[in-house]
């Protein structure tokens, strides 16, 4: 099920492309969903800014297996959102 909550989780994990696709699906089902509209605008702008970084960080996220790597990913997310 494609929900705003799932899209938010993907965003927080750095999986912006996946989140964007879910937001688009939510908007198709509910064209007046303002949260989805805002998120699509936000992520579309970030996609241009971080075009190749998201793919690299997704791969990094999927392979993380230590606390140090988790903290590094967390720092990256904080930088990406600010």
Domain boundaries, the chain: 4-46, 50-81
Question: CA torsion sign, 67 to 61 to 63 to 5?
Answer: positive
Contacts of 60 (CB under 8 A, 6+ apart): 69, 73
pLDDT tens readout for residues 14-57: 888 899 999 999 999 999 999 999 899 888 876 555 556 667 77
Mean pLDDT over 61-71 rounds to: 84
Helical ranges in 1-82 per DSSP H: 4-12, 16-29, 34-49, 53-63, 67-81
What pLDDT is recorded for position 19? 92
pTM for the full model?
0.56
Entry field: residues in the chain: 82
Measured CA to CA, the distance from residue 38 to residue 59 in angstroms comes to 26
pLDDT above 60 (res 70)? yes
């Amino acid at each position: 099920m494609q929900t705003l909550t799932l899209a938010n989780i993907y965003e927080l994990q750095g999986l912006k492309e996946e989140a964007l696709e879910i937001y688009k699906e939510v908007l198709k089902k509910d064209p007046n969903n303002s949260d989805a509209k805002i998120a699509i605008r936000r992520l579309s702008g970030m996609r241009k800014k971080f075009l190749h970084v998201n793919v690299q960080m997704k791969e990094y996220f999927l392979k993380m297996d230590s606390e140090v790597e988790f903290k590094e990913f967390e720092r990256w997310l904080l930088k990406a959102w600010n």
